[in-house]
Amino acid sequence: MLIPFKKYTESSGVEIPIAKEKKDAERFWWIAALLAFIIGVWYLYWRITATFNTEDNLARWISITVYIAEIYGFLAFIFFFLQVRKGPSRIPPTLESYPTVDVIVTIFNESTEVLYRTIVCCQAMEYPEDKKKVYILDDGNRKEVKDLAERLNCIYLSRPTHEFAKAGNINYGLAHSTGEIIAIFDCDHIPVRTFLTETAGYFKDPDVAIVQTPHYFYNPDSFQRNLRLEKELSNEQDLFFRVIEPGRDYYNSSFFAGSSGLFRRKALEEIGGIQTLTITEDLHTSMVLHARGYKSVYVPRILASGLAPESFEGYLKQRKRWTRGGLQVFLLDNPLIKRGLTFWQRIQYFGAVYYFLHGIPRLIYLSAPLSFLLFGYAPLRTSFAALLSHFLPYYVTSLIAFHRVSKRLRNPFWSDVYETAMSFSITATAMATFLNPGNKKFHVTPKGLRQAVSKFNLHLVIPHLILLCLLLAGISIGFHHLFSDSQIHADAFRISIFWGIYNSLLLVAAISTASERREVRTSPRLKRMIPGEILFDNTKIPFITSDISDSGISLMLSGPQITIPLFVKIHLYGDNGERVSLTGMVMRNDIISQGEMVTVGIYFMKVSEEDRQAIIRMMFSPQYTWYSPPDASAGVCLSFLAMVISPVRLFLQEKVFHRFYPRIKREIPCEIIRNGTVNKGVIEDISYTGVRAKICGVLPLGNDIILKIYYSKNKPLSIEGRIAWIKKTKGDTLTGVHFMEHKPDLLELLKG
């Protein structure tokens, strides 16, 4: 039975019941953390008093270096737990009057397709029309972005100069807008319909300057995607937005995260706008506002969704930028000595920038076994049994405490993988920042990429490969000595071999992440339960979608396989009373679950802009869209197993869907005509719904084309089609084309 407790929240003036079990769980977190802290102090004391190698000066410095790395890890553990508290429970204050809001969407060189979805949903946000304006701030001065702004009834702004990157772009927008509240979105962050009504009310408190909502990503990050671990791993950023930011909110130090947040214009104007001293303008601006005495509010409801970097290279670019910016804050406006911050705000902000130093100790951990395996200098001198008796309790208690506090959003061992993957890149960035803290070079994180073919980004992991080879060589040497007749330094070999094997597993997992997986879809597909109907002849079949994109749907039908024609009418019914009527082409109609269910895939044909916008709103705008984000459920053993076998998963075959119609092998000359460009080729096989062809030249994904098939000497067959996939071969391109229309002559061609 739940015994309710009451907690008063100043921001909303509402008492929220809190279950006793939750209070007990929070108490257990702190007991586990305190136990880990005590054992950690005991372990570090033992390390400094009983394990240092003092054989000579070099050995002594190796021991000191490894110990300093362990001190860093212990302090990072402390800072993490100091940032973790149960944040204030809040109910959105009722909006009695509506402040004017300027919705600012920033873009530089990102895809206009990504921007399109964001703008459609920004316009769909519930708020009085005379109180809301949507601005597109284009720092790339692109005509297609300007045309899109005009088409979607937005205000387009593009500055003549481009200093201070994103911060300068936003400040330019501030100078050309007048709203009392500024809502800021990156071009890939899509708000739900109630975003403003659930956040703007917090500004009733005149001391509130920042309202931030979580970042949630509707696509897998590069680790989930490339290692094929979408179901086993949470998104790498979930820990920050669902555990750390609520804890920072307890101390009034949650900060603007660059997107999906709001500012009070008056507060921004007091500090001269978005700060430009560093390239992490979000963190720095928040700190300056807190130093002025303003409050921040973190709303732990997912009210917007965005794109995680699709590629490993994009992930590294993002982390390098965060590292440079975080260290610039430390060097140029240090929170420990900044006037106006409270004691706990200093700790919170210092903890945030302290994290960006983790690359250096991680490299020390990774390479430390080599000091003995290759050069004979043990980083610590102790027996294997003594090390286990001291390190194991420290490691296990830390693991338990972290696992409990992280709410299972960070799988055990995977923090080590993440740090290993970026360690070389951010270490180089950290060193460069210490040497030149004024460097303002800003690298935009690429979003909305399409990976037509799988590839391995060797250049990103060359240092990892070199270190892995050295470790494998050292482990081999260690085993040779360990099993030889001589047992001198046997414990040192055991420790170094065990350490080296674990580091090798981390490196292999990190290297595997550089194997980019091909992307076969041209638009995002989300799991959504949207009611609708299939109509053909005099038949009407109701359904609920399994998933949907702006180009098609999947659905499940019960009972035996239903004969559905190639072309059907589709009705979709949105939660906000919207209805969309479309023509669809059946791409898949498979029996599953021993004949009890049928899965149907339908491709939308010739979707009007009005219908496409309605589909996007159905996908992203409902306020309940992200109510129950998935959590990782893997425990210690399964997480370790997932890490170990993750490289093996790279060789798994991609799922191939069954076809609705068989493909017939035919070698027929053809041409693909796209925007006036003609690519000649040969069809290799053909069905009622499409062809596979070998084409001279390069074709982009998703393009509408005209396919001319020269099966008759009299007249070629011309069919409207769409490029579904491409694969490069020697000198040619293999491509799949979906037909966008039905031609009776196809039957004759297939029969012939």
Q: Looking at the structure, do residues 587 and 533 belong to the same domain, yes or no? A: yes
Q: Looking at the structure, do residues 511 and 363 belong to the same domain, yes or no? A: yes
> Which of 489, 516, 543 marks a domain boundary?
516
Report the amino acid identity of residue 106: T
In sequence order, what DSSP letters do the residues of 3-27 get, joined into one string? -EEEEEETTTTEEEEEEHHHHHHHH
pLDDT tens digit sequence for 648-695: 877 765 554 555 555 677 889 999 988 888 889 999 888 777 898 998
CA distance 58 to 378: 10
Q: How many domains does the chain have?
A: 3
CA distance 249 to 298: 6
Q: Extract the tokens encoding 182.
A: 């500024």
In sequence order, what DSSP letters do the residues of 717-744 get, joined into one string? EEEEEEEEEEEE-SSSEEEEEEESS--T
**pLDDT over 60 at 126, yes or no:** yes
User: 281, 102, 300: which is closest to 183 by C-alpha?
Assistant: 102
| Assigned domain for 576 exists | yes
**pLDDT over 50 at 10, yes or no:** no
Residue holding tokens 């902000």?
A: 349
CATH number, position 731: 2.40.10.220
> Which of 620, 648, 674 marks a domain boundary?
620
Q: Looking at the structure, do residues 408 and 497 belong to the same domain, yes or no? A: yes
pLDDT tens digit sequence for 702-734: 578 899 998 877 778 899 988 888 887 777 888
pLDDT tens digit sequence for 307-319: 998 889 999 999 9
Question: What is the average per-residue pLDDT within 171-188?
Answer: 96
User: 732, 725, 664: which is closest to 695 by C-alpha?
Assistant: 732
Per the residue annotation, which of 138, 238, 282, 611 is the catalytic one?
A: 282
Q: Looking at the structure, do residues 401 and 484 belong to the same domain, yes or no? A: yes
Q: Looking at the structure, do residues 387 and 469 belong to the same domain, yes or no? A: yes
Binned at pLDDT 50, 70 and 90, residue 448 comes out as low
Comparing 353 with 591, the larger pLDDT belongs to 353
pLDDT tens digit sequence for 362-418: 999 999 999 999 998 999 999 989 999 999 999 989 888 888 788 778 777 888 999
| Assigned domain for 565 exists | yes
CA distance 185 to 735: 36
CA distance 674 to 677: 5
CA distance 199 to 181: 10
Q: Looking at the structure, do residues 551 and 588 belong to the same domain, yes or no? A: yes
Range of the domain at 597: 526-620
Question: What is the average per-residue pLDDT within 500-527?
Answer: 87
pLDDT tens digit sequence for 208-225: 999 999 999 998 888 988
Q: Looking at the structure, do residues 427 and 510 belong to the same domain, yes or no? A: yes
| Assigned domain for 268 exists | no
* Residues belonging to the chain: 752
Question: What is the average per-residue pLDDT within 550-554?
Answer: 90
pLDDT tens digit sequence for 55-76: 899 999 999 999 999 999 999 9
Catalytic (active site) residue 238: no
| Assigned domain for 655 exists | no
CA distance 664 to 687: 6
**pLDDT over 90 at 439, yes or no:** no
CA distance 326 to 328: 5
Rounded to the nearest 10°, the torsion over CA 158, 161, 162, 167 is: -70
Decide if 289 contacts 210 (C-beta within 8 A): yes
3-class DSSP state of 511: helix
Catalytic (active site) residue 282: yes
Bridge pairing between strands 295-298 and 208-212: parallel
| Percent of residues, the chain, with pLDDT higher than 70 | 89
Q: Looking at the structure, do residues 485 and 554 belong to the same domain, yes or no? A: no
Q: Residue 589 is inside which H or E element, if any?
A: strand 579-592
| Assigned domain for 455 exists | yes
Question: How many Cα atoms occupy the beta-carbon half-sphere of 394 within 13 Å?
Answer: 21
- Helix, strand, coil share (%) of the chain residues, nearest 5: 40, 20, 35
CA distance 289 to 139: 26
pLDDT at 561: 54
Bridge pairing between strands 101-107 and 132-138: parallel
Q: Looking at the structure, do residues 491 and 552 belong to the same domain, yes or no? A: no
Q: Looking at the structure, do residues 495 and 531 belong to the same domain, yes or no? A: no
Comparing 664 with 306, the larger pLDDT belongs to 306
Burial of 482 (0-12, 13-18, 19+ CB in 10 A): middle
**pLDDT over 60 at 267, yes or no:** yes
Binned at pLDDT 50, 70 and 90, residue 19 comes out as very low
User: 435, 496, 436, 428: which is closest to 462 by C-alpha?
Assistant: 428
Q: Looking at the structure, do residues 380 and 507 belong to the same domain, yes or no? A: yes
Comparing 322 with 701, the larger pLDDT belongs to 322
Bridge pairing between strands 304-305 and 295-298: unpaired
**pLDDT over 60 at 24, yes or no:** no
| Assigned domain for 464 exists | yes
| Assigned domain for 637 exists | no
Binned at pLDDT 50, 70 and 90, residue 490 comes out as confident
Question: What is the average per-residue pLDDT within 81-110?
Answer: 89
Q: Which long-range contacts (CB under 8 A, 24 or more apart) does 368-371 make?
A: 368/62, 368/66, 368/69, 368/499, 369/471, 369/474, 369/496, 369/497, 369/499, 369/500, 369/503, 370/470, 370/471, 370/474, 370/500, 371/62
63-90 burial, b for 16+ CB within 10 Å, e for fewer? bebbbebbebbbebbbbbbbbbbbbbbb
270-290 burial, b for 16+ CB within 10 Å, e for fewer? eeebbbbbbbbbbbbbbbbbb
pLDDT at 404: 79
**pLDDT over 60 at 4, yes or no:** no
pLDDT at 12: 39
| Assigned domain for 427 exists | yes
pLDDT at 320: 94
pTM of the model: 0.83
Q: Looking at the structure, do residues 474 and 550 belong to the same domain, yes or no? A: no
Binned at pLDDT 50, 70 and 90, residue 158 comes out as very high
pLDDT tens digit sequence for 232-242: 888 889 989 98
Per the residue annotation, which of 102, 139, 186, 416 is the catalytic one?
A: 139
> Which of 484, 516, 548 marks a domain boundary?
516
Mean of pLDDT over the chain? 87
pLDDT at 7: 37
Binned at pLDDT 50, 70 and 90, residue 342 comes out as very high
Decide if 197 contacts 98 (C-beta within 8 A): no
